Structure 1
Amino acid sequence: MRGAALAAARQALEEPAPAPHDVRDTARVPERPRKAEVSGPRPQGLKELEGFRQLQMLEQAGAAIGLGSPYFRLHEGHAQSRSQIAGAEVLNFGSYDYLGLNADPRPRQAAMSALERYGVSASGSRMVSGTRPVHLALEEALARHYHCEAALSFVSGHATNVSLIPTLMEERDLVLSDAFVHNSVSTGMALSAAARRSFPHNDMDALERILENHRPLHRHVLIVVEGLYSMDGDLPDLPRLLALRDRYDAWLMVDEAHALGPVGASGRGVFEHFGIDPAEVDIWMGTLSKTLASTGGYVAGSKDLIRYLKARAPGHVFSVALPPCLAASAAEALRLLAREPGRAAQLQTLGAHFLEKARDLGLDCGAAVGSGVLPVMIGDSALATKLSERLLAAGVNVAPVTFPGVPMGSARLRFFLSSDHRPEDIDRALEATRDCLDQLEAEGFTRLLGAAQRAGG
């Protein structure tokens, strides 16, 4: 029975979700049908949704084999390099405070000063009554950071991409994205009227073939990559991307959500890593919620781009402004990033230590370069989930990433490092990972998974 339950769990964990409808197929609103006569029992609402049924099946299958949810863990205080979960102190590798600035008193003090002066909320969109001096100061600092003419902040990082891409790319255009881009990019692409294609992760030859075949068919082409990939912890080939951008007369957009802080000698981002003037990139996008100790998103680029987004991007025009206190804390964190480059250097030293220690223990970190995001590859989604549960019991908080968040068979634990971690924290966490994996093997958990896999075909 347990083997059957494991098979059901594997199927639930790794069954592909149905493909979403192309929004271009439903752009025209049909006439409202006449109200039909309804006989028999009433519909069950959410329970009829395929996604809801999959969720129920996953929960039931997990419960059958003793798999609890590794998500929505309640942190009972400040989630720093150490945190409090269920009344116990744990080493925390689940938060992306890469440079420790969320724990630094200076961004907090900047937020408190703005809170006293401007209140909790901006109480309006930027176009109406929401603009405050701290918004302008943050945007000017971001523009300087990227050597751009202008920048614009948004109240949500996810909404930044969801608004930016469909606002910029229209029916005669094409958006090309790396296969491993964030959901916010793929959602923005789906909402755009433009054609869209993805290319295999970091495969510049495949990207060039697509450009050769499709560039003549479209008015504008936008290439979207990440500065540091959030699941694998590796970098794009920025020099080659710029060369392809120029050769095929395209636009290049780099999502710096995870790269700002962890990447580059002083944490300035992927452009610093490659020694490239950031003004060479057409569009910089990023979030305020990671290194910059705040919440929200931003775009940096030309004056014309920012002017257009200010007037047309729905996530800016129709949304309340970023709370002034969060704009103030982000601006202060950005100032500290530039002023204290030792934070980024310390983070990269810890990342190198993590990779070396993982190799010594026989743990696979994939293509990670050691900059903030460090995956430990597990493969099976159920095993990754069970391992995360065991690690929490051992005093280490790290979340698994399972299908469909990553391709089937490539589940992993994703460690987020902070410059506030210590080498001994990393040693303890990785040794616990090795020990818990070995314990699960000794208990027969991995054999059961193999049997379930064979039974499932």
Structure 2
Amino acid sequence: MSINTEALLTKFKADFLNDGRSESDAPEDVVFDPKAMDITATDDYRIIQEMREFYSREGRHNPYFLPRKGRISDRVSVQEREYISYSGYNYLGLSDDERVIHAAQKALDVYGTHAGAARMVGGEIALHQEMERTFADAFGFEECVASVGGYMVNVMTIGYLLGSGDVVFMDEYMHNSGMMGGVMAHARRVLFPHNDLAALERLLQQNRNRYSRAMILVEGAYSMDGDLADLPRLLDLKRKYRAWLMVDEAHSLGVVGATGRGVCEHWNVDPRDVDIIMGTLSKSFASCGGFIGGSREMIATMRHFAPGLLLYSTGLPPASTAAALEALRIMLQEPERVRKLQHNAHLFVQLARERGLEVGCSGASAVVPVMLGESSLALQLMSDLMESGIIAHAVMYPVVPRNKARLRFFLTARHTEAQFVHTLDLLQKLMQRYQAG
């Protein structure tokens, strides 16, 4: 499906240049309720209070928002204690690499601390263009454009490309940023069961022709379960039903594929066949930010007109740009980092299954969940592990479906087999103790 630049510009003017006016008034049956303004009466605040009470009652540290000292690696220092950490995205172990740090420091010396403006009007630096060209060449895009946050890149891309007359078909496990992009676009949002492409095709058959533009939205490697999208089949469906295919590769670039080039490399697919590929700089590339890869026409249009991507948004800081660029170069020069990470992922899954731990379909990426079911058990085990010097955070409803709480382990190229054995032996003993009552 080709880009209609005139239609996109018309949509942009309607959606974003209306001085905040809305086409519709509030529903007639809505009335002012003073209690609705009380944040302490919300379910969200109640959950926070329950968590605080749980950790206070148990006399344990709340494991959320703990300030770390020093650099992040396979081990971190928190509150004067050292922990094995499985809660960082430092997949290739580059965030404390001296070459990456030196590149960031050099950029600070040359460009200062920030871009200074939106890139279109004074905030562009040569390093931005060098980084984008290098990423595009490395991952097989015609062009790419980088911005200050991965979450925002998803939201703004989807929010810009789709409108109220359009539809987005997304995997039910799609990251929240994808969901919110659909909300921002006012597009019809159709969820299909996780990785069930037969169900997706039925939904496409039923709904596609009722809308102007259509997008199929998936993750390359899913951030909660660690399994992969079936890219060849998705490409067949996008061609058959005339839809854009957007793949969020936040957790697969630098991780999946023989040389870390993501799910396209894993499936031996030309990246140019995928309309939109999103990646982050905060996972494998030791920095912060996100980028979109695609055709020259797609990226040029978004570069000029997508609000919040470059337009109305300050450019990526020079130090972050330089760090990501150097991290990518190291990944390309040292492919053994990707191989070590993939070895660690397979090893962790193997060791977990040998101990009777349920890890689902993971093993193809650096995300491994240990499925527990009940949120209370996940909280308790997270706390027990932390007391024993291990950080692995619990993920619970509403982030994942009810009764599918889990501990989520982020693995890196820096982790060791000894750390895995120690961690999983302890987790096995703790679970056996709770199961015994």
- The letter of the residue matching 2:79 is A
Alignment-derived partner of residue 288 in structure 2: 295
Q: Does 1:387 align with 2:392?
A: no
Q: Does 1:126 align with 2:142?
A: no
CA contact (8 A) 1:354 1:370 kept: no
Alignment-derived partner of residue 15 in structure 1: none
- The letter of the residue matching 2:137 is R
CA distance in 2, matches of 1:42, 1:171: 32
Change beyond 3 A, Cα 1:189–1:57? same
- The letter of the residue matching 2:171 is D
- The letter of the residue matching 1:115 is L
CA distance in 1, matches of 2:32, 2:257: 64
CA distance in 2, matches of 1:30, 1:149: 43
- The letter of the residue matching 1:395 is G
Q: Report how far residue 54 of structure 1 moved.
A: 4.3
- The letter of the residue matching 2:83 is V
Q: Report how far residue 72 of structure 1 moved.
A: 1.4
Alignment-derived partner of residue 237 in structure 1: 230
SS in 2 for 1:79: coil
Q: Report how far residue 238 of structure 1 moved.
A: 0.5
- The letter of the residue matching 2:417 is P
CA contact (8 A) 1:70 1:385 kept: no
Alignment-derived partner of residue 344 in structure 2: 350
1:28 pairs, out of 23, 32, 47, with 23
Alignment-derived partner of residue 7 in structure 1: none
Change beyond 3 A, Cα 1:379–1:67? farther
Alignment-derived partner of residue 424 in structure 1: 418
Q: Report how far residue 134 of structure 1 moved.
A: 0.6
Task: Name whichever of 366-375 and 108-117 sits farther off.
Answer: 366-375
CA contact (8 A) 1:227 1:255 kept: yes
SS in 1 for 2:69: coil
CA distance in 1, matches of 2:106, 2:313: 24
CA contact (8 A) 2:142 2:295 kept: yes
- The letter of the residue matching 2:303 is K
SS in 1 for 2:394: strand
Alignment-derived partner of residue 7 in structure 2: none
CA distance in 2, matches of 1:37, 1:99: 52
Change beyond 3 A, Cα 1:216–1:106? same
TM-score under structure 2 normalisation?
A: 0.90
CA contact (8 A) 1:259 1:269 kept: yes
- In the alignment of these two chains, the number of paired residues is 413
CA contact (8 A) 1:365 1:375 kept: yes
Q: How does 1:218-237 map to 2 (within 5 A)?
A: 218-237=211-230
CA contact (8 A) 1:355 1:370 kept: no
CA distance in 1, matches of 2:96, 2:208: 47
CA contact (8 A) 1:181 1:226 kept: yes
1:176 pairs, out of 145, 169, 172, with 169
- The letter of the residue matching 1:326 is S
Q: How much identity, in percent, do the aligned residues show?
A: 40
Alignment-derived partner of residue 257 in structure 2: 264
Q: Does 1:254 align with 2:237?
A: no
Alignment-derived partner of residue 437 in structure 1: 431
Alignment-derived partner of residue 51 in structure 1: 44
> Over residues 341-360 of structure 1, what are the superposed CA-to-partner deviations in whole Å (9 max), with x where a residue is unaligned?
11111111111111111111
Q: How does 1:43-442 map to 2 (within 5 A)?
A: 45-60=38-53, 63=56, 69-315=62-308, 316-442=310-436
Gaps of 5+ in 1: 1-25, 445-457
Change beyond 3 A, Cα 1:390–1:50? closer
CA distance in 1, matches of 2:90, 2:324: 12
Q: Report how far residue 132 of structure 1 moved.
A: 0.4
CA distance in 2, matches of 1:213, 1:387: 44
> Over residues 352-375 of structure 1, what are the superposed CA-to-partner deviations in whole Å (9 max), with x where a residue is unaligned?
111111111111111102421111
Q: Report how far residue 181 of structure 1 moved.
A: 0.8
- The letter of the residue matching 1:286 is G
Q: Report how far residue 277 of structure 1 moved.
A: 1.3
> Over residues 358-403 of structure 1, what are the superposed CA-to-partner deviations in whole Å (9 max), with x where a residue is unaligned?
1111111111024211111111111111101111111111111111
Over aligned residues, Cα RMSD in angstroms? 2.2
Task: Name whichever of 111-120 and 101-110 sits farther off.
Answer: 101-110
Q: Report how far residue 85 of structure 1 moved.
A: 1.6
Q: Report how far residue 302 of structure 1 moved.
A: 1.2
